């Protein structure tokens, strides 16, 4: 039996795992050249679980989970959990799922009932920018950016940046009829500022 046919861990909160069909995970693992354990770690990120929760689920130490994170970041060329989600989604999007074109952002703002300023904050999250960087570009204080994050989390019923990304992408996947979507097959290397900001 191939390691890719091994059963996947059960969903917990389902916040992120439900964005992708369970059948997509083995294919993602192969496409990204992830070991089954690395794939389980990525699934934990999509489900917005903390290192301790992932460690407990997999019966490994939190230190080992952190080691896996460092390995995943290097392997996938990312430096944070939000970028990890975007990288995995980029791979999934290559399979004929729409990419977030610039024209989608205004419709996303309306669909999610977000103000233009809140959408600027969300776009900063997609760029993996820190509060200070977002504040600088928007000419507001980092404290004000944190206030916007709290409002966004409450409005979208999420509690972290990774969940925010998953929520926005899930909305995009459901907001437009198939014929209105922009269908692009882009490689993760081409997932640039043009597509996600």
Q: Can you give the pLDDT at residue 128?
A: 74
Same fold, 11-93 and 104-196: yes
pLDDT tens-digit map of 97-138: 445 777 888 989 999 999 999 999 998 888 778 899 899 989
Per-residue pLDDT averaged across 62-89, rounded?
92
Per-residue pLDDT averaged across 179-195, rounded?
40
Distance of CA 67 to the CA centre of its chain: 20
Q: Can you give the pLDDT at residue 48?
A: 85
Q: For residues 175 and 63, which has the higher predicted lDDT (pLDDT)?
A: 63
Q: Can you give the pLDDT at residue 65?
A: 94
Q: 11-93, which class in CATH?
A: mainly alpha
| CA–CA gap between residue 81 and residue 77 (Å, rounded) | 12
| % of residues, the chain, pLDDT over 70 | 77
Q: For residues 67 and 3, which has the higher predicted lDDT (pLDDT)?
A: 67
| CA–CA gap between residue 60 and residue 88 (Å, rounded) | 23
pLDDT, mean over the chain: 79
| CA–CA gap between residue 100 and residue 23 (Å, rounded) | 23
Model confidence at 10: pLDDT above 60: no
Residue 139: exposed, middle, or buried by beta-carbon count in 10 A (0-12, 13-18, 19+)? exposed
Per-residue pLDDT averaged across 22-47, rounded?
89
Q: Kindly list the domain boundaries of the chain, sorted by start residue.
A: 11-93, 104-196
Model confidence at 190: pLDDT above 60: no
Task: Provide DSSP, 99-127.
Answer: ---TTHHHHHHHHHT--HHHHHHHHHHHT
| % of residues, the chain, pLDDT over 90 | 41
Q: Can you give the pLDDT at residue 3?
A: 39
What CATH number was assigned to the domain covering residues 104-196?
A: 1.10.10.10
Model confidence at 29: pLDDT above 80: yes
Residues in the chain, overall count: 197
Cβ(8)–Cβ(22) below 8 Å: yes
Per-residue pLDDT averaged across 67-85, rounded?
92
């Amino acid at each position: 039996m191939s390691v890719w046919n091994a059963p996947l861990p059960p969903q917990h909160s389902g916040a992120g795992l439900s964005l992708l069909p369970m059948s997509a995970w083995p294919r993602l693992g192969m496409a990204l050249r992830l070991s089954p354990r690395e794939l389980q770690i990525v699934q934990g990120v999509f489900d917005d679980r903390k290192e301790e929760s992932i460690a407990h689920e997999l019966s490994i130490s939190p230190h080992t989970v952190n080691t896996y994170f460092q390995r995943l970041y290097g392997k996938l060329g990312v430096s944070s959990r939000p970028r990890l989600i975007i990288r995995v989604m980029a791979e999934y999007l290559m399979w004929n799922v729409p990419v977030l074109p610039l024209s989608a952002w205004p419709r996303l703002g309306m669909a999610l009932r977000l103000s233009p300023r809140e959408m600027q904050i969300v776009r900063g999250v997609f760029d993996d920018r820190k509060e200070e960087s977002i504040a600088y570009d928007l000419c507001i204080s980092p404290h004000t950016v944190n206030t916007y994050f709290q409002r966004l989390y409450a409005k979208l019923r999420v509690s972290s940046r990774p969940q925010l990304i998953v929520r926005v992408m899930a909305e995009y996947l459901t907001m437009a009829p198939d014929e209105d979507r922009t269908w692009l097959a882009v490689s993760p290397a081409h997932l640039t500022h043009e597509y996600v900001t």
